[in-house]
């Protein structure tokens, strides 16, 4: 018989598995992005969508972790805080934020956790060549992504950090976390401003999808300001549109997402490697 191609080349019995766990799961972008990144590094590995429902999570997850060729997981909504119970080692960012988004199996079988939303944001700045050390930053929004950005930016040791969230207690809590991470940084809580600010971060949902609003009530921004928006859709948010019109440099949510994906895959590779034992 003539040999016809009856198989694919991206999965075999030796393929190592990674996954993203969420509920719902259809909208996630990690499978195509992280799988590309894993395979670009020469790994025989896939990252799969794993739809685990909320009623099943606590009993099912510890058993799913027993799949012996499963090496790591990303956690998304609504599991970023709940997944901490699965980790035996919790990284400094995850500890500050009280949530994780990546879990990787060490060679000794222990599961290590870290959160990379903020690290991805810092990576996006690094790729642009925009340093954070010594800068004066304003951060609007301290929800899931915002608190992670707060912790990661604090780790870069800016000169000052001003934090704002509609939930004042939340803002004070993250201010304390930021001070603990970078004692030399002057951290304050207060309404959005660009006075004495070098870099403005938006991590609030204001401007998402069809929302025409900006998270800061100004019609002009100083052209030397760098403006970041964590929102992915639309890519050019009302805030970023104003910033561009004013001649500011900008960093987009998609750049943070790309930076995060690279850093998560770094974490997977580093943690699972025998050298990490």
Q: Which residues bind a second copy (CB under 8 A)?
A: 5-15, 17, 20, 25-33, 35-37, 39, 46-53, 56, 59-60, 63-64, 66-69, 258
Q: Which is nearer to a second copy, 33 or 154 (CB)?
A: 33
**How does 233-266 read in b/e, with b if 16+ C-beta sit within 10 Å?**
ebeebbbbebbeebebbbbbbebbbbbbbbbbbe
Q: Which is nearer to a second copy, 125 or 164 (CB)?
A: 125
Name 240's Cβ contacts closer than 8 Å, sequence gap at least 6. 227, 229, 250, 252
Rounded to 5°, angle at Cα 76 from 146 and 47 = 125
Minimum Å distance from CB 39 to a second copy? 7
- Count the alpha carbons within 13 Å of 112 in the hemisphere toward its beta carbon: 21
Length of the chain: 277
Minimum Å distance from CB 191 to a second copy? 33
Q: Which is nearer to a second copy, 11 or 133 (CB)?
A: 11
Q: Say how far apart CA 43 and CA 126 lie, in whole Å.
A: 25
Minimum Å distance from CB 32 to a second copy? 4
Range list of H helices, the chain: 30-40, 57-64, 92-97, 117-128, 144-155, 168-181, 238-245, 253-272
CA 72 to chain centre: 16
Minimum Å distance from CB 78 to a second copy? 14
Minimum Å distance from CB 93 to a second copy? 24
Query: What is the greatest pairwise CA distance in the chain?
Result: 76
Minimum Å distance from CB 70 to a second copy? 8
Minimum Å distance from CB 236 to a second copy? 12
Q: Which is nearer to a second copy, 102 or 181 (CB)?
A: 102
Q: Which is nearer to a second copy, 77 or 166 (CB)?
A: 77
Name 87's Cβ contacts closer than 8 Å, sequence gap at least 6. 94, 100, 103, 111, 112, 113
Q: Which is nearer to a second copy, 164 or 228 (CB)?
A: 228
Q: Which is nearer to a second copy, 72 or 192 (CB)?
A: 72
């Amino acid at each position: 018989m003539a040999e016809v191609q009856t198989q694919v080349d991206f999965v075999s019995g030796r393929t190592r598995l990674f996954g993203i766990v969420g509920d719902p799961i259809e909208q996630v972008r990690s499978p195509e992005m992280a799988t590309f990144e894993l395979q670009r590094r020469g790994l025989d590995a896939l990252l799969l969508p794993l739809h685990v429902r909320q009623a099943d999570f606590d009993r099912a997850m510890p058993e799913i972790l027993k799949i012996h060729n499963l090496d790591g997981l990303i956690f998304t909504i609504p599991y970023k805080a709940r997944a901490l119970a699965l980790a035996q080692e919790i990284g400094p960012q995850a500890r500050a934020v009280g949530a994780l988004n990546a879990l990787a199996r060490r060679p000794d079988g222990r599961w290590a956790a870290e959160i990379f939303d903020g690290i991805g944001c810092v990576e996006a700045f690094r790729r642009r060549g925009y340093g954070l050390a010594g800068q004066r930053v304003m951060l609007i929004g301290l929800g899931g992504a915002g608190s992670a950005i707060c912790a990661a930016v604090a780790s870069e040791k800016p000169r000052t950090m001003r934090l704002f969230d509609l939930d004042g207690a939340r803002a004070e809590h993250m201010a304390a976390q930021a001070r603990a991470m970078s004692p030399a940084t002057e951290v304050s809580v207060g309404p959005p401003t660009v006075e004495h600010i070098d870099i403005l971060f938006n991590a609030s949902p204001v401007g998402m999808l069809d929302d025409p609003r900006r998270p800061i009530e100004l019609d002009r921004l100083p052209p030397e300001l760098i403006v970041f928006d964590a929102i992915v859709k639309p890519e050019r948010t009302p805030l970023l549109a104003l910033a561009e019109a004013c001649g500011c440099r900008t960093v987009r949510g998609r750049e943070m997402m790309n930076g995060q994906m690279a850093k998560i895959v770094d974490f997977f590779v580093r943690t699972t490697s025998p050298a990490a034992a």
